[in-house]
Amino acid sequence: MHVLITGGAGFIGANFVHQTLNRYPDATVTVLDKLTYAGNRASLADIADQIELVVGDVADADVVDPLVERADVVVHFAAESHNDNSLRDPSPFIQTNLVGTFTLLEAVRRHKVRYHHVSTDEVYGDLELDDPAKFTPTTPYNPSSPYSASKAGSDLLVRAWVRSFGVEATISNCSNNYGPYQHIEKFIPRQITNLIDGVKPRLYGAGENVRDWIHVLDHNDAVWDIIEKGRIGETYLIGADGEKNNKEVVELILELMGHDADDYVHVNDRPGHDMRYAIDNTRLVEELGWAPTFTDFRSGLQATIDWYRDNEAWWRPLKAEVEAAYAAQGQ
């Protein structure tokens, strides 16, 4: 089996590459990654001799087409994904998330290759804090940022290519991931690395915003289950019933790292900050038999903290630039 993984040097993608080699030791794995700031060659360093890494753009048809031609399955992780960045400059999100997806879809259509599209629950907008509802595969799209709008558009392209051209594709929309190799601009690793540096964590606004957390390894196991057993044309929502508000997460990180739970700083909230995400994973669980391994957020978070403590050489070169960018925004 030859697997083409786009965005395989990013957070979720790099973990997926490692898991693919563990799950299928005889697989041929090609990674296509532009190695923007969010892609890190070091995330693949320990398996570099087991994969082919192609540095290129998913929106470049001349790069994409020959890679797809020799693949049995394409797993599309590559995306611009940071909401704050999409508010400052939406253009890379349109190019990568929309044009890149279109380019891949045309290639898999041409070469009749199985395709899986990795997306986000943010395409559904947000829920009220006191709303008992959760996102389902039939929830109407209601994106609220340039990032989520570009991902919603890419999902709709996949659905159209399945219906119009018979492309063999599935879609997954996942809740917030955490775990190793996550860029330190993101919420959880930023707080962890700040504390390692003796800097108080930063909390947007009152910290009431709720996210449905899932460990990246559980997410990626679900992706493989969908590729192997999912119905073509279907959308599967991936979540692990891990709802926590941002204040709870910061306080737990502080506790696990030996600090007072209230030892953090409030900063200006993000414009249009979604209030709550929550995933109904019924289709994934009942149809495909998937179940998460990391059922205890506390232990999963402790393992993540340990990883960042043990792998400072991976994140240290990024830290000063990330914090300078946040400081310029008053965050």
Is 46 a catalytic site residue?
no
The pair of structure tokens assigned to 11 is 């957070």
Question: Could you tell me the CA-to-CA distances from 21 to 113, 135, 195, 225, 230 in Å, in that order?
Answer: 20, 32, 33, 15, 21
Q: Is 122 a catalytic residue?
A: yes
**Of 13, 40, 12, nearest in space to 313 by CA:** 40
Q: Among the options 121, 212, 243, 274, which is catalytic?
A: 121
Residues 6+ apart with CB under 8 A from 153: 97, 98
Residue type, 17: V
Q: What is the DSSP string of 73-131?
A: EEEE------HHHHHH--HHHIIIIIIHHHHHHHHHHHHT-EEEEEEEGGGG----TT-
Give me the amino acid identity at 211.
R
Chain-centroid distance of CA 120 in Å reads: 7
| CA distance linking residue 54 with residue 255, whole number of Å | 41
* One-letter amino acid for residue 49 of the chain: D
181 is annotated as an active-site residue: no
CA distance 262 to 210: 18
- Of 124, 147, 178, 308, catalytic: 147
Which active-site residues does the annotation give? 121-122, 147
